[in-house]
Structure 1
Amino acid sequence: MFFDENDPFFGGSVEDKFYDVIFHASRALAQKEINAMIERIAKYEVLMERANIDPTQYLEIDEESINDYYIQYMGNILSNNE
């Protein structure tokens, strides 16, 4: 892992950093990004339902993949919060 949780500047998990970004970004920008995330999740759920896929049965996701999404959404917020 690239992150040292004990480092005073870069410490903490990717998830913690994501929430730091969300809580310190402008409310409108954070709301826009969260709404986009919810819309994306809803679309995936509809696609899985139409394909008769039970996500709890077939899908396992590792921590690295989850962290990639946190980083992607942080980047979206930070690049628009200038």
Structure 2
Amino acid sequence: MDAASPFGLSSQKEVSMRDYSELEIFEGNPLDKWNDIIFHASKKLSKKELERLLELLALLETFIEKEDLEEKFESFAKALRIDEELQQKIESRKTDIVIQSMANILSGNE
């Protein structure tokens, strides 16, 4: 995780630039791998990572409300249904988050 952000936000771009294709753990569907890791890692590590993700979600939702961005967010979410490029960006970001989350859990197992 990035020292500047407890959520690793600034490192998300860095993660997406790395090439993980040669690592066996990242073969197949990243979300399926993440599910396997979450459910098979120690309860303590999984709990810590899920709490980090929930805190990030709460932070983002609070920011949207505080900055009065609800309408923009709803419009953005509706665009997701028809904008294939946006769908790809969201899937890519989701994969980045999953990879970072797996790294957080696995580094705790060392």
Query: TM-score with structure 2 length normalisation?
Result: 0.61
Match of 2:30 among 11, 14, 31: 14
Partners of 1:69 and 1:46 lie apart in 2 by 20
Between the two proteins, the alignment pairs up a number of residues equal to 76
CA deviation string 1:19-72 (max 9, x = no partner): 011111100110011011101110110001011112232355521111000001
Match of residue 46 from structure 2: 30
Q: Which runs of 5+ in 1 are unaligned?
A: 4-8
Query: TM-score with structure 1 length normalisation?
Result: 0.80
1:66 and 2:94 correspond: yes
Q: Which runs of 5+ in 2 are unaligned?
A: 1-19, 81-88
- How large is the Cα RMSD of the aligned pairs? 2.0
How much has 1:81 moved relative to structure 2? 1.2
Output the amino acid matched with 1:34: L
Distance 1:10 1:52, change over 3 A: closer
